[in-house]
Amino acid sequence: MVDFNPKIISKEELSSISAGVNEEDLLLFEEHCLNVHYESNVFIEAKEPGSPWVVVKNLKSGEFSEMLDCTSQNWVLALGFANPDINYAVSEQMKRLTHVKSSGTSPARIKFVNKLAELAPGRLKDGRVHVNNSGGGAAIEAAIKLSLIASKEGEQILTFQGAYHGNSLAMITASHPIHSVTRFRPFGLDVFPRVPQPYCYRCLWNYKEGLYGHKDPQCSMECFELVNKYLTGLTSRRLAAVLLEPYQGPGGHIPFPPEYLEKLKEICDDEKIFRIYDECQTGVWRTGKYFTLTERYEKELNIDVSPDMMCFTKAIGGGFPLGAMIASKKIRKRFSPSEDHTTFCNTPISLTAGLASIKVIEKAKYGENCEERGKQITKRLKELQENYEVIGDIRGPGLFIGIEMVKDQTSREPHSELMNEMLAEGMRQNILFGPSMPYMTTTGKILMHNLIKIKPPIVISKEDAEYICDKFEDVLKASLNKIK
């Protein structure tokens, strides 16, 4: 195989083509940048290849610092920044081939599709895989298309409060609050009826013991009975599918109780409504030693709540843009060329990165590491909770940790100001915490924005995990002093 030997531009020039910006570049950038850019840090490089630490430059002060990233950059970098194994596999792939048209195929696509079919849980095992080069929204749209094709007369997709499924024109509407704050008319409002999700810490039926991601032992799941009415005929048109994150990530780390998922499966199977799980955040060992949350329920609770279709993004591409959807092979329909393709949907680079990342996680047992480090952090947080009234609820598992900040543990009143201050203070103390998305009404009023996320790369060491807990307390103390 040939090595990279540039022909037109020197190796030196090419190796710094996207590195090292100066003040002038930054000023011009501010003028020209149209899409999101609101943080004052420029991410420069991994502290070391594969590290959860990153070197950043502060735009205002011009100073460099090293930060431990508990956001994995939109929860993507499960194996840290610039992972050497992934990068090696990708650079070898790049020597062979960098692009294949949508209808073509490549060894990377064949291997990736087969691997996902092998890893998928329950009724999805040996299923049919769709890949895209964009991410979660595109994977979910593919699932919705397939449910509309395969459903007899279904036209609508039932969605839940607090959900987030992406930012395309269709996914904005499928997601809970976003269309209330867009300056354009949402598409497809008639397609996505929305119902309340089970939210055990803030139960609409006033059960009080729904803590740490578990439902109140006394609860009779009235919330499901409400949704059941929609499943069995209350929507304005027939449902093709129900779309849900089995553990809502962006909306505030809110799990659907496994018993709820069991009931949902039973009714949906009876009513011939497909279930689409969005495991974009919870998949790829983010929640611990299992590939998906659904697999955890299968192995630990002995229940099969696997859906008809499941969607992935984030870590599935090993840090490269990739989305995937797997459908049960019982759904016999496949897409026609006109129903689904994009120019770059069949990208061997991302597929190779995805394959390498899965192999590394399996071989190094990073899923187990995620489980252990998650337990370590959650245990410390629960100890802190005894001393700090403002720590409301702590929800895992694995390194999928969300902490609800409240005014006090009795009222559970959301403490959005504290959450915001903690994010800013974290940056000052060289740790990046993540926020939940704001919980809004359809008129754009923010009801809650109070959850801090700790979701570092799953490769973090025991020492990094201790550092995260120490910093969490330091940051909390400093923030409380500031806002009091």
Provide the binding-site residues for ligand PLP, judged by CB under 6 A. Answer: 135-137, 164-166, 245, 249-250, 278, 280-281, 313, 323
Which residue has tokens 């030693």? 289
Least spacing, CB of residue 437 vs ligand PLP, in Å: 9
Total Cβ atoms within 10 A of residue 141: 23
Q: Which residue is nearest to ligand PLP (CB)?
A: 135
Minimum distance, C-beta of residue 73 to ligand PLP, in the bound complex (Å): 11
CA dihedral 282, 278, 253, 44 (to 10 degrees): 60
Among 82, 80, 76, 57, smallest CA distance to 68 is for 80
Q: How far is the CB of 175 from ligand PLP (least distance, A)?
A: 8
For ligand PLP, the closer CB: 399 or 469: 399
Q: Copy the structure tokens of residue 438.
A: 């704001």
Give me the least distance between CB of 138 and ligand PLP, in Å please. Answer: 6
Q: Name the residue nearer to ligand PLP (CB basis): 85 or 318.
A: 318
Greatest Cα pair distance in the chain:
71
CA distance readout (Å), 417 to 200, 362, 403, 424, 472: 23, 40, 14, 11, 16
- Report the candidate in 328, 411, 388 with the shortest Cα–Cα distance to residue 403: 388
Alpha-carbon dihedral of residues 436, 442, 443, 447, nearest 10 degrees? -40
- How far apart CA 358 and CA 397 sit, in angstroms, is 20
- For 220, residues 6+ apart whose C-beta sits below 8 A from its C-beta are none
Nearest CB to ligand PLP, comparing residues 395 and 471: 395
Q: Classify residue 170 by its DSSP letter.
A: H
Pick 72 or 378: Cβ nearer ligand PLP: 72
Q: How far is the CB of 388 from ligand PLP (least distance, A)?
A: 28
Closest residue by Cα to residue 166 from 132, 123, 117, 124: 132
The residue (of 105 and 182) whose beta carbon lies closer to ligand PLP is 182
Q: Cβ closer to ligand PLP: 253 or 415?
A: 253
For residue 276, the minimal CB distance to ligand PLP (Å) is 11
Minimum Å gap between C-beta 313 and ligand PLP is 4
Calculate Rg over the CA atoms of the chain. 22
The smaller minimum CB distance to ligand PLP, of residues 243 and 390, is found at 243
